[in-house]
Structure 1
Amino acid sequence: METVVQTTPELPQEILMDIFALLEIPDLVRAGSVCSSWNNAYTRIRNIGQKKQAQTPCLLYTSESAGENVACLYSLAEKRAYKLTLPEPSIHRRYLIGSSHGWVITVDERSEMHLVNPITSEQIALPSVITIEQVEPIYDNTGAICKYNYSMDTKMSVTRRSLTLALGKLRYYFHHKAHIFYDASVGSYIVVFIHNPFGQLVFARLGDEKWTRLSSYTNFQDCIYQDGVLYAVTAFGEIAFDLSGPVVGAKIIMDRVSDFYGRERVYIVQAPWGDMLQVWRPEAWINEEVDGHRHEATFEHKMKWMKYI
């Protein structure tokens, strides 16, 4: 007599994805290792950036004791830390300047940027900093880049003489913060980089060989991307950039709300009902004396300076 082995019918991928989208990150990763069908659903969710709306954030940090290439991911939901081995260059020696959609944007000891997914260990190199006009490479006798010439000029003004900086020192002066956005129309990501001097704005799509300048305006502080339009806020107002076509269009959608700059941080967020809101946060300034000189800096800049030294 022949024995018939019945298999449990599999749920459709769409239903699995709806269920998996509700899971916390550690549970989602575990679910992806159960079987090939579940792994396919997990991979599709990861690739399209679909996740639970009220996802509990995880904290990413490094430590000397964990190792040069190990990042620690602390789950607030589970109150547990996971150790993740990531590819070179050393994650412990990189700066982190942004994160979203499961990616972190890092700056290595050569001041070059990478996207890193701590869960999958995937790493993507972003265009070189030398494709931005403020950074000029300096080569040694072998033809290798050994230093950078950092210009403090913008298209709007000439400020001071250039600085000659070691490879790892440029990131202290030049890099401010970066954002990554998922563009559903092309199924890929856009990285927007706010850099110094004076908060200038460039962007790149994955696979681009260079950064693209968005505007001659300065003092950009934050941005958000929706339906092909990048909404970027400066210290004085708000500008919308249409990135959906081959030529970038720009439009001022909110004029200056303040003529005073320097004591507040400006953010742009999307409200639950769909409107874009500006959020203004007073900065905490620190006054101190260093080497006999009075020094004033924001708390953010102070922490960055402490990390650098």
Structure 2
Amino acid sequence: MFSSPATWDPRFPSNSGFLSRFYGIADNHARDLGLLRHSLSNGWSCRARGFGHGWQVISESIDRVFLLNPITQSEISLPSLAMLPSIEGWAMIDGVVIILKAVITSHPTLLENGDDCIVVAIVSLFECANQRFISEGPRNMRRDPLEKLVFCKVGDQKWTVIQDNQEREFIDLAYCNGFLYAWGQSSEALVFCKLGPSPKVTQISLKPEYFKASRYSQLIESCGDLLCVMWSFDRNNEVLGFIIARLEQNNKKWSNVNCLGEHSLFLGDECSISLLTSEHPGLKKNCIYFITSFMELRVGIFSLTDCSIEYLSFDTEVPTSVLQLWITPSLW
């Protein structure tokens, strides 16, 4: 059927309600990648919350969280959010705990690392009268400003809460070289921790000075490096370009990145990935692929070589409400 999952190009969902059809940028075609008809249309809280290694983190309800392979339809259960340990300052009565974003550290089913697969997530508490949250979403709900980082290994019965001496709102997270990194929104501080029995975050760096004027930046692991990518917009919300910084591990300082070499980045709200383009025919090297949905859905390619932007055309209509999520399909 398919020779190898390594040859599959990155794709994004072409239907926001059902994770069954994905649009490929290399072949410019929307394709049904399997028999899956898993509906995410039951409410705002039921949606993909992250992606990694061919699997998606799906938060269907407070009691049903799982990993999903959209190709094979395989599911791996994760602990219920109702099983979160007691968190100081959180009142669970009349509230719903939501996964805001999640990352997967390794492939969950391959023998050499499946037992080490960890799911890390940002969780937040929403207060909701009469439990209307599931159907109405967060617009009529009050979100508790206190957010927490939690993780579990595949097979665990409960989530582990990462201890933090400060109250934070997190805007992004990434896993790199055995460490979890996360942006704290108000302080614009980068925190990290080693995942283990008694994890605790440590603040190590502030956002680069030239990034602080940006309203949108993302963390991404690439070739063992932690990168921060800043979006630049004009007054009409048109993308002007991107700036990349790398966290130097020896001094925890940021340095500029002007070239990605043979790699390219793929930026999305739910997940960002880095790929070696020589393993994915049809992709351009040293570029940033991005999705925007202001007024209309657009997929663009920013070249770090000449700072140009090319927007892709589609051979079929793609809904503007698609999830801004890149996946690299896996057959296992």
TM-score range normalised by the length of the shorter chain: 0.5 to 0.7
**1:214 partner amino acid:** I
- Aligned equivalent of 1:223, options 155, 173, 176: 173
Distance in structure 2 (CA, Å) of the matches to 1:103 and 1:207: 16
Distance in structure 1 (CA, Å) of the matches to 2:119 and 2:13: 20
Matches within 5 A, 1:32-111: 51=6, 56-62=9-15, 71-78=20-27, 79-82=29-32, 84-86=34-36, 90-93=39-42, 94-109=46-61
| Deviation per residue, 1:215-274 (Å, 9 max, x gap) | 23421222222232212221221122112x43325432215779xx9x8344223456x5
Alignment of 1:267 onto 2:218:
yes
Provide the residue aligned with 2:77 in structure 1. Answer: 125
Distance in structure 1 (CA, Å) of the matches to 2:205 and 2:41: 41
Distance in structure 2 (CA, Å) of the matches to 1:212 and 1:98: 18
On the 8 A contact 1:71/1:91 being kept in 2, the answer is no
Distance in structure 2 (CA, Å) of the matches to 1:105 and 1:246: 23
- Could you list the structure 1 runs, at least 4 aligned residues long, displaced by more than 6 angstroms after superposition: 183-186
On the 8 A contact 1:62/1:91 being kept in 2, the answer is no
**1:213 partner amino acid:** V
Could you say which structure has the higher helix fraction? 1
Q: Structure 1 length normalisation: TM-score?
A: 0.53
Distance in structure 1 (CA, Å) of the matches to 2:177 and 2:16: 39
Alignment of 1:252 onto 2:203:
yes
Secondary structure at the counterpart of residue 82 of structure 2? helix
Distance in structure 1 (CA, Å) of the matches to 2:227 and 2:2: 37
Distance in structure 2 (CA, Å) of the matches to 1:121 and 1:162: 32
Distance in structure 2 (CA, Å) of the matches to 1:229 and 1:192: 11
Secondary structure at the counterpart of residue 130 of structure 1? helix
Deviation at 1:118, TM superposition (A): 0.8
Provide the residue aligned with 1:114 in structure 2. Answer: 66
Relative distance call for 1:253 and 1:119 in structure 2 (3 A) is same
Number of residue pairs matched? 210
- Aligned equivalent of 1:175, options 61, 84, 99: 99
- Aligned equivalent of 2:120, options 192, 203, 219: 192
Deviation at 1:132, TM superposition (A): 2.0
**2:180 partner amino acid:** L
Deviation at 1:186, TM superposition (A): 6.6
Deviation at 1:71, TM superposition (A): 1.6
Relative distance call for 1:231 and 1:209 in structure 2 (3 A) is same
Distance in structure 2 (CA, Å) of the matches to 1:201 and 1:60: 27
- Aligned equivalent of 2:184, options 220, 234, 237: 234
On the 8 A contact 1:230/1:241 being kept in 2, the answer is yes
Q: CA RMSD in A?
A: 4.3
| Deviation per residue, 1:181-223 (Å, 9 max, x gap) | 1187675321111111333211111011111111234212222
Distance in structure 1 (CA, Å) of the matches to 2:33 and 2:218: 32
Deviation at 1:97, TM superposition (A): 1.4
On the 8 A contact 1:264/1:283 being kept in 2, the answer is no
Distance in structure 2 (CA, Å) of the matches to 1:206 and 1:58: 25
Larger radius of gyration: 1
Distance in structure 2 (CA, Å) of the matches to 1:56 and 1:275: 22
Distance in structure 1 (CA, Å) of the matches to 2:194 and 2:179: 5
On the 8 A contact 1:87/1:123 being kept in 2, the answer is no
Distance in structure 1 (CA, Å) of the matches to 2:118 and 2:68: 14
Deviation at 1:61, TM superposition (A): 4.5
**1:179 partner amino acid:** V
Provide the residue aligned with 1:145 in structure 2. Answer: none
Distance in structure 1 (CA, Å) of the matches to 2:161 and 2:233: 28
Identity of aligned residues (%): 24
Q: Structure 2 length normalisation: TM-score?
A: 0.50
- Higher relative contact order by CA 8 Å / sep ≥ 6: 1 or 2? 2
On the 8 A contact 1:181/1:189 being kept in 2, the answer is yes
Relative distance call for 1:270 and 1:116 in structure 2 (3 A) is closer
Unaligned runs of 5+ in 2: 125-143, 235-291, 294-320, 323-332
Unaligned runs of 5+ in 1: 1-28, 32-41, 135-153, 285-298, 301-305
Distance in structure 2 (CA, Å) of the matches to 1:200 and 1:283: 30
Deviation at 1:124, TM superposition (A): 0.9
